[in-house]
C-alpha cells in the first residue's frame, strides 16, 4: 500500500498541472470569443447582409431605405448580448455599442437594424423570444423600448428574470403595452412564433454564427460583443 501511494503521489502534481492548464486555456478562449457559445473551429463562410432575409416577423428599427443594414442575432438570456446592448456586466467591461449605433447611425437615417432570434440558452430564452414576436406584432413602436428594458432586467441565466411572469410584470411597466394582450397573442401564435425562432437561428448558423451576439453588416461577420470601433468601422466602410 505505501508503494502504491508513492506512485500515485508521483503523478498527482503533473496531472493537476495539465488539468489546470486545460481549464485556464478554456477560460481564456471563452473570454476572448466575446460571446456566449463556441465556434466549431472551422473557417466561417463568406457573408453578405444582402442575403439575410428580412421578414415581417423580424423587428426592424431605422429608415427602411437606410443605406446600411445590420442584422443582429441575440438571446435575451445572454450576458454578452446585455454587454453589447446596455452594459452593466462587471465581468464584461466594455462600452455598450448598440446605444451609440442607434444614436449616431439609426437616428440619422444611415442604418437600419434587424433583430434576429438565436434563442439557445434555455427555456427562458424561448419564452423571451416568443414575447419579442408578440410585442413586435402588436406594438412595433414600443419594440425597442421593451427590448432594452429586457436586457436591463436580465440577471442569472434561466434562474431569475426571464420567465413568463417576470416578462409580463416588466411589460406592465411600459406605457402603451397591454400585458394581457401580449399573453393572449403568445398563446394564439405560439407555434408560428416558434417556427420563426427556429428559422432565424438556422439562418444565423448558415452564416457561421455559433453563439450570441452575432452581427452581420455588409460583408463582415462580427462574432461576439466586440469594441464599438469594430462595429463603426464595418458600418462606415459602407457609407
Q: Give the domain extent around 98.
A: 49-236
Position 8 scores a pLDDT of: 34
Residue 113 and residue 12 share a domain: no
Residue 60 and residue 9 share a domain: no
Position 44 scores a pLDDT of: 58
Residue 214 and residue 171 share a domain: yes
1, 2, 3, 9, 17 from 6: Cα distances, Å? 9, 6, 5, 5, 18
Task: Tell me, yes or no, whether 42 lies in a domain.
Answer: no
We report the CATH number of the domain holding residue 183 as 3.40.30.10
Nearest to 113 by CA among 100, 101, 97, 128: 101
Confidence of residue 28 (pLDDT cuts 50, 70, 90): very low
pLDDT per position as a tens digit, 188-233: 999 999 999 999 999 999 999 999 999 999 999 999 999 999 999 9
Residue 172 and residue 216 share a domain: yes
Cβ(73)–Cβ(215) under 8 Å? yes
Backbone angles phi, psi at 45, to 5 degrees: -70, 160
98, 163, 164, 226 from 212: Cα distances, Å? 14, 20, 22, 11
Cβ(217)–Cβ(234) under 8 Å? yes
Residue 182 and residue 206 share a domain: yes
Q: For the chain, what is the largest distance between any 2 Cα atoms, rounded to a whole number of angstroms? A: 79
Confidence of residue 13 (pLDDT cuts 50, 70, 90): very low
Residue 54 and residue 17 share a domain: no
Q: Which residue has the cell 457609407?
A: 239
Task: Tell me, yes or no, whether 134 lies in a domain.
Answer: yes
Task: Tell me, yes or no, whether 147 lies in a domain.
Answer: yes
Mean pLDDT calculated for residue range 84-92: 92
Q: What total number of domains does the chain contain?
A: 2
Residue 179 and residue 64 share a domain: yes
Residue 103 and residue 8 share a domain: no
Q: Does the pLDDT of residue 41 top 70, yes or no? A: no
Task: Supply 106's cell numbers.
Answer: 439609426
Residue 105 and residue 10 share a domain: no
Residue 56 and residue 11 share a domain: no
Residue 163 and residue 230 share a domain: yes
Locate the DSSP E strands across the chain.
60-61, 68-74, 111-117, 214-217, 220-223
Residue 84 and residue 29 share a domain: no
Task: Report the percent of the chain where pLDDT is more than 90.
Answer: 76
Position 40 scores a pLDDT of: 47
Distance CA 36, CA 32 (A): 11
Q: Is the pTM of this model over 0.85?
A: no
Amino acid at each position: 500500500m505505501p508503494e502504491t501511494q508513492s506512485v500515485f503521489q508521483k503523478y498527482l502534481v503533473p496531472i493537476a498541472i495539465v488539468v489546470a492548464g486545460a481549464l485556464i486555456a478554456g477560460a481564456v478562449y471563452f473570454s476572448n470569443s466575446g460571446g456566449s457559445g463556441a465556434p466549431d473551429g472551422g473557417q466561417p463562410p463568406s457573408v453578405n447582409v444582402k442575403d439575410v432575409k428580412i421578414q415581417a416577423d423580424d423587428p426592424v428599427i431605422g429608415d427602411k431605405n437606410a443605406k446600411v443594414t445590420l442584422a443582429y442575432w441575440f438571446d435575451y438570456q445572454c450576458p454578452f448580448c446585455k454587454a453589447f446592448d446596455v452594459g452593466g456586466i462587471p465581468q464584461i467591461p466594455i462600452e455598450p455599442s448598440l446605444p451609440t449605433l442607434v444614436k449616431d447611425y439609426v437616428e440619422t437615417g444611415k442604418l437600419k437594424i434587424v433583430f434576429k432570434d438565436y434563442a439557445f440558452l434555455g427555456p427562458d430564452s424561448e419564452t423571451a423570444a416568443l414575447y419579442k414576436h408578440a410585442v413586435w406584432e402588436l406594438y412595433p413602436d414600443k419594440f425597442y423600448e421593451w427590448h432594452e428594458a429586457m436586457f436591463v432586467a436580465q440577471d442569472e441565466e434561466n434562474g431569475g428574470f426571464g420567465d413568463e411572469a417576470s416578462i409580463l410584470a416588466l411589460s406592465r411597466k411600459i406605457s402603451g403595452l397591454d400585458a394581457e394582450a401580449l399573453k393572449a397573442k403568445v398563446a394564439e401564435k405560439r407555434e408560428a412564433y416558434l417556427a420563426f425562432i427556429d428559422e432565424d437561428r438556422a439562418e444565423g448558423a448558415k452564416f457561421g454564427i455559433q453563439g450570441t451576439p452575432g452581427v452581420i453588416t455588409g460583408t463582415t461577420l462580427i462574432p461576439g460583443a466586440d469594441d464599438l470601433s469594430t462595429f463603426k468601422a464595418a458600418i462606415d466602410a459602407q457609407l
